[in-house]
Amino acid sequence: MNAEILGPEEATRARRYQMKRLWLGLAASVVGFAVPAGFWIMAPGEWFREAGGSLFWAGAMYFAVLVAVHHIAAFPLDCASEFRLPRSVGLSNESLGGWLKDQGKSLVLNILIGGAVAGALAQIMAWRPYGWWWISAVLGTVFGIFMVLVTPVLIVPLFFRFKRITNSDLVERLENLLVRTGSRVRGGVWEMDMSRRTRAGNAALVGWGPSRRVVLGDTVLDYAPEEIEAILAHEIAHHVGNHIWLLIAGRGVSLTAGLFLAHQLFRFPEVFMSLGAPVPIPGGPSSIGALWIFMTIWGVILAPFYRWISRRLEFWCDRFAASHTGGAEAISSALTRLCKNNLADPSPPAWAVTFFHTHPPLGERIRRVRETS
């Protein structure tokens, strides 16, 4: 299958690139976890408490420092995996200045949004030392829905420029698709200037209600019209299947369960003492650090399950695309082209797929859609 999609040399090159990327990314995650964990154990919570004045500001300041420590610790490895490696294989054409600017913007956004969330969390913990976990889970889920609504219109434009698709053939194909599938994507279809950074193609369904839109990277606009139509049909399938709502519900459940478990754990001070870590006092700054560590571990435990569901949904969307665009040919040819342009490994090792991939291997997607359509 690999050779059929990429040719033996290209397949080896793709495997090497993707494995390097995976190992560097993993190393960045380990360092990005270990260094904030050290900060949590050693940081003077009392200092933040006094400097912040209120629980809100103490929690927000503590979180801001934690995020900065995390970014600085993981920076060299992030730079190697996200900037230098894609450039070395000709996938990325981004300048170092441009990449650093994006990193700076993400850091500021993380500090502002995450800091406000952490400050609010500290207040809620102190206000309701026994019920904080479910109040925070409900508010966190509502905030997540709000972020789905505003991200396409407020956050993503900080990184990419958007314009409506004007190609009349494409617009017509899309309108026909929407009629055939009986669906309505209120925000329409937009083009995003990915080519300023990369030659890799991508497309996504984003937003909710008025901000719900299909976004196509300008790097796929030179594909054959049938291929673009198949990609659009795949994204419409995410809309028809309510996949964004499924994602929000899944996140809500895991957030509620995670905060509940953290609440139970916080009732055993001896666990923290045995680690030499500060005992979390509800609302105290170091309880924010304890939650960060706990929720990161919780996320790692749940990841294989959520990624498995995500891969099932992707198969479903491929089949939907095939059945609404006249067969498997257009979608499998679009996937083949994505594989080549993105230097994707058509059949990565099973363990890498299980733990890290939200999308099934392209080789398997192509095989399945051909078999089932």
Name the residues that contact Zn ion, by CB under 5 A: 314, 317
Of 70 and 311, which has the nearer Cβ to Zn ion?
A: 311
| Contact yes or no for 301/351 (Cβ under 8 A) | no
Q: Count the Cβ atoms, other than its own, within 10 Å of residue 314.
A: 20
For the bound state, the minimum distance from the C-beta of residue 348 to Zn ion, rounded and expressed in Å, comes to 17
For the bound state, the minimum distance from the C-beta of residue 178 to Zn ion, rounded and expressed in Å, comes to 17
Of 216 and 317, which has the nearer Cβ to Zn ion?
A: 317
Contacts of 318 (CB under 8 A, 6+ apart): 234, 331, 335, 365, 368, 369
Q: In what order do the strands lie in the sheet with 213-217?
A: 162-164, 189-192, 213-217, 203-206
| Contact yes or no for 208/145 (Cβ under 8 A) | yes
| Contact yes or no for 124/136 (Cβ under 8 A) | yes
For the bound state, the minimum distance from the C-beta of residue 16 to Zn ion, rounded and expressed in Å, comes to 26
Q: Is 80 exposed, middle or buried (0-12, 13-18, 19+ CB in 10 A)?
A: middle
90 φψ region: left (φ > 0), alpha (ψ -120 to 50), beta (else): left
For the bound state, the minimum distance from the C-beta of residue 358 to Zn ion, rounded and expressed in Å, comes to 9
Whose structure tokens read 């970014």?
71
For the bound state, the minimum distance from the C-beta of residue 314 to Zn ion, rounded and expressed in Å, comes to 5
